[in-house]
Chains A and B, each alone.
Chain A
Amino acid sequence: MERCRLSYGNFTIMHQLKSYGPVLARWILGGFFIYASLDKLAHPELFARAISNYQLVPFGLENTMAIILPWLELLAGVCLIAGILVDGANLLVAVMLIVFITAISQALGRGIDISCGCFKVTETGRSLGFSTLVQDFILLGLCFWVMNRPDRTLEIYPKPV
C-alpha cells in the first residue's frame, strides 16, 4: 500500500529525490556562486579592498585574489549548473566555502566590523554576521550532497555511463 502511494511507474519518489535532489543542489550552488561573482567582476578594486579588510592576505596579494577569485566563482558556478566537470567544480566550491568560513570566523572573533564582500562589494553590501556563516555552512552541506550523489543525472561531461 505504502509502495503504491509513493510509486510512479518504475521509479519511487525517493529514487527521484536521490537523483534530482543533488541536481537541485548543484543549481542552487551554481546560482549562488554566479550571482556572487558578478559584482566582484565589475568592481575588482572594491573587492580587493573587501579582501584586505579581512586582514588575512599579506599586503599586496589582495589584488591578485580580486582578479582571479571572481572568475573562479563564475566558472565553478557555470560548471555546476551546466553539468560539466561537476566533481572538480564541486571540490573548488567546497574549498572556497571553507576558506570563506575561516575568514569570516576570524573576522567576527577579532571584532572587525566590515562589509561581507560576499555578493556586493559596493557600499550597499551587507555587514558580516552570524547569518553569513550559517549560509556558508548550508552551502557546504549542499556540496557534500552533490559529492555523494548516486548518479550523474543531467550532466554533460563527463558523460554518465
Chain B
Amino acid sequence: MFPTPPPLHQASLIVMATIVLGIMSNTIRSDSIPWIAEALAVTDKISIETETSEAPILQGISLEQAKKLFDDNFIFVDARGEEYWSEGHIPGAMVNRNFMELTFKIDSIQGRTKPVVVYCSDDDCGSSEDLAYDLQYSGFTHLYIFKGGWLSWNDAGYPTEISQ
C-alpha cells in the first residue's frame, strides 16, 4: 500500500548515519576513548597500605608480585568459571558463584580497603579485569589483577589446591 523502503533498508540507513556520527564525534572530541579498550599495564610496585584517602587502586601485577601478596595472606579471587576453579586454583582463592555473596565474603574477612588479587586463566582472558572493575564499583578500593593468571602460577610450581 505504501511505496516505502523496507524497514530493514531504513534501519540500515540509520545505522550507517550512526556509525559516521560516532566516528566523527570520537575523532573530534577532547575526551575521546579508544575504539578497543586497552588492557591494564602491569605496575612495577605494589602497595599494601590500606589508607582510604588515596585514589582507588586498580592495577595489573606480575607473578612475583602476586606471590608476595599470597604470602602476605591477602584474598585472591578466581574469575574463571566454577568448573575450572574446581579443577585447580590458587590456595584459598574464592570463586565467583554469586557476585553479591562474593563481595559479602571479602568484606567480612578483610574489609574493602585491603588488597584483593583477581586472576583468570592467563594474560589474554578479560574476566579478571571485568570482575575487578565490578568489585571497584561495589566499593573495593585496592584491587590487583594478576596478569599471568592461573597458567603462570601453575607453571611456576607455586602451591595449588583442588576443591569440590
CB-based contact B14/A76 at 8 Å: yes
A158 contacts B100, CB within 8 Å?
Answer: no
- Interface positions, chain A 40-99, Cβ under 8 Å from B, are 41, 44-45, 48-49, 52-53, 55, 58-64, 66-68, 71-72, 75-76, 79, 85, 87-92
> Which chain A residues in 100-155 approach chain B with CB under 8 Å?
110-115, 152
What's the nearest-Cβ distance from chain A to residue B100, in Å? Answer: 5
User: Which residues in B have their C-beta under 8 angstroms from that of A115?
Assistant: 137
- CB-CB under 8 A from B25, the residues of chain A are 41, 67, 71
Q: Are A60 and B10 in contact (CB under 8 A)?
A: no
A88 to B4, CA, bound (A): 11
Query: Which of B34-42, B44-52, B69-77 forms contacts with chain A?
Result: B34-42
CA–CA, A92 and B8, complex, Å: 9
The reply on A161 being an interface residue by CB < 8 A is yes
Which B residues touch A114, using CB under 8 A? Answer: 134, 137
Query: Contact residue range for chain B?
Result: 35 or more
Chain A contact residues, CB within 8 Å of chain B: 41, 44-45, 48-49, 52-53, 55, 58-64, 66-68, 71-72, 75-76, 79, 85, 87-92, 110-115, 152, 158, 160-161
17 A-B interface contacts by CB (under 8 A): A41-B25, A48-B33, A52-B133, A53-B134, A59-B126, A59-B127, A67-B35, A71-B25, A72-B15, A85-B5, A85-B11, A85-B13, A88-B5, A88-B12, A92-B14, A113-B100, A115-B137
A71-B25, A88-B5, A92-B14 known; 17 other A-B pairs, CB under 8 Å?
Answer: A55-B130, A59-B37, A59-B126, A63-B33, A63-B37, A64-B36, A66-B33, A67-B25, A71-B21, A85-B5, A87-B7, A88-B9, A89-B10, A91-B8, A110-B98, A113-B138, A152-B2
